[in-house]
């Protein structure tokens, strides 16, 4: 089974402007949509499109949390959230003007009792299960939070996939995650190296592998992705063509496609990278997350 964990789910309020955002003025929207989000939840959504069952874990709070939970159930997703007594699941504002601007909330505090409730759920994981830890954590939690979960699960044969930034990601490396997926900017920030070409990106991916990551998938938005697999092979893939509508969730879709592709191909990394790319790009070319039809249509062109 695949489990995703979203510490900080969100309702994504996507606002479209027909001009550039004018900071400090009243901006009138051309239209708006609400999309259920948060990185792990997005991974679960795309996995479902690909025919892979998953359970979305994490924390929800307040009326927005209840709305999110109902919406996911209506989409047929399995969830098993810890309910927080205080605060509300955040609403993240995504402004689609000439450029994309995002305003992500801090999210509700997660008390120790709620952390323990999540750990109890994770204790039920079995050998060969996949655990996806994706996205930010509320400011009240330590940057060792993902590390704490992997330390508890160590030695149980669970494959961890981690999509996070800075210390939250770096701290899990000693626990040998199956996959990490930084984008090129995040990788540059972590390694402290300016990355200007594939050779430099591959070298930075090797640095992450030396620290413990088994597979390193570096996404580069419209420039595609580079994979350094656990055997030391580097794969480079470009993007299929299309019109970018909303790239929010493209990285999560790539993670979902990679995991599904890996499982469905019996461990073929090239196939995993191809499906990951099709999913990432199909989401970038859609308003919300990619559907199976969108993904299949792009795969046929690759
Ligand atoms: N502009 C684009 N055109 C085509 N494909 C794209 C574009 N942006 C993203 N993608 C696809 O999605 C994948 C992941 O994108 P990206 O590198 O932006 O991830 P990310 O930074 O984690 O994104 P996010 O945080 O918005 O989910 C890319 O490797 C590519 O396949
Ligand atoms: O604040 P985080 O947790 O880093 O990112 C949250 C978020 O931007 O990630 C998803 C897209 O990847 C959105 O659905 C959501 O709003």
Instruction: Provide ipTM, 2 decimals.
Output: 0.97
The pLDDT value recorded for residue 245 is 87
> Which residue is closest in CA terms to ligand 1's atom 28?
221
Of the residues 12, 129, 229, 252, only one is catalytic, namely 252
Q: Return the exposure string of 32-71: e unless at least 16 CB atoms fall within 10 Å of the residue's CB, then b.
A: eeebbbbbbbbbbbbbbbbebebbbbbbbbbebbebbbee
CA of 258, nearest ligand number: 1
* CA dihedral over 257, 259, 263, 269, signed as positive or negative: positive
Substitution site in 216, 220, 221 for ligand 1 pocket (most atoms within 8 Å of beta carbon): 221
What span, in angstroms and rounded, lies between the C-alpha atoms of 288 and 138? 24
CA of 224, nearest ligand number: 1
> Which residue is closest in CA terms to ligand 2's atom 15?
38
Indicate if the pLDDT at residue 161 is higher than 90: yes
Task: Give me the DSSP letters along 56-116.
Answer: EEEEEEHHHHHHHHHHHHHTT-EEEEEEESSS--EEEEEEESSSEEEE--------HHHHH
The model's pTM is 0.96
Find out whether the beta carbon of 58 lies less than 6 Å from any atom of ligand 1: no
Find out whether the beta carbon of 247 lies less than 6 Å from any atom of ligand 1: yes
Span 109-131, pLDDT tens digits = 999 999 999 999 999 999 999 99
Is residue 9 packed enough to be buried (19+ CB in 10 Å), middle (13-18) or exposed (0-12)? buried
Find out whether the beta carbon of 280 lies less than 6 Å from any atom of ligand 1: yes
Cα 135 to ligand 2 centroid, rounded to whole Å: 6
**In the chain, what are the domains?**
2-7+38-88+109-299 (3.40.1190.20)
In the chain, the largest separation of any two C-alpha atoms, in whole Å, equals 55
Span 180-224, pLDDT tens digits = 999 999 999 999 999 999 999 999 999 999 999 999 999 999 999
Cα 251 to ligand 1 centroid, rounded to whole Å: 5
Substitution site in 284, 289, 298 for ligand 1 pocket (most atoms within 8 Å of beta carbon): 284
Percent of the chain with pLDDT over 70: 100
**For residues 274-284, average pLDDT:** 97
**Mean of pLDDT over the chain:** 96
């Amino acid at each position: 089974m695949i489990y995703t964990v979203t510490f900080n789910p969100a309702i994504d309020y996507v606002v479209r402007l027909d001009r550039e955002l004018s900071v400090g003025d009243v901006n009138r929207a051309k239209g708006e949509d609400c999309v259920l989000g948060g990185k792990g939840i997005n991974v679960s959504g795309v996995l479902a499109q690909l025919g892979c069952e998953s359970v979305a874990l994490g924390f929800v709070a307040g009326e927005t949390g209840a709305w999110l939970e109902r919406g996911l159930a209506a989409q047929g997703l399995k969830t098993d959230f810890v309910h927080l007594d205080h605060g509300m699941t955040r609403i993240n504002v995504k402004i689609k003007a000439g450029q994309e601007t995002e305003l992500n909330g801090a999210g509700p505090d997660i008390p120790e009792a709620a952390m323990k409730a999540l750990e109890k759920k994770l204790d039920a994981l079995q050998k060969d299960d996949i655990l996806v830890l994706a996205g930010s954590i509320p400011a009240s939690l330590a940057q060792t939070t993902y590390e704490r979960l992997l330390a508890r699960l160590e030695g149980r044969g669970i494959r961890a996939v981690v999509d996070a930034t800075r210390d939250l990601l770096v701290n899990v490396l000693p626990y040998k995650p199956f996959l990490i997926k930084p984008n090129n900017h995040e990788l540059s920030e972590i390694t402290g190296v300016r990355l200007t070409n594939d050779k430099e990106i591959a070298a930075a991916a090797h640095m992450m592998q030396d620290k413990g990551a088994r597979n390193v998938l570096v996404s580069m938005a419209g420039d595609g992705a580079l994979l350094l697999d656990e055997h030391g092979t580097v794969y480079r893939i470009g993007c299929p063509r299309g019109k970018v509508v909303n790239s929010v969730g493209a990285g999560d879709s790539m993670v979902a496609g990679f995991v599904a592709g890996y499982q469905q191909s019996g461990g073929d990394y090239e196939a995993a990278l191809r499906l990951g790319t099709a999913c990432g790009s199909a989401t970038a070319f859609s308003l919300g997350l990619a559907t199976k039809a969108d993904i299949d249509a792009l795969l046929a062109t690759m």
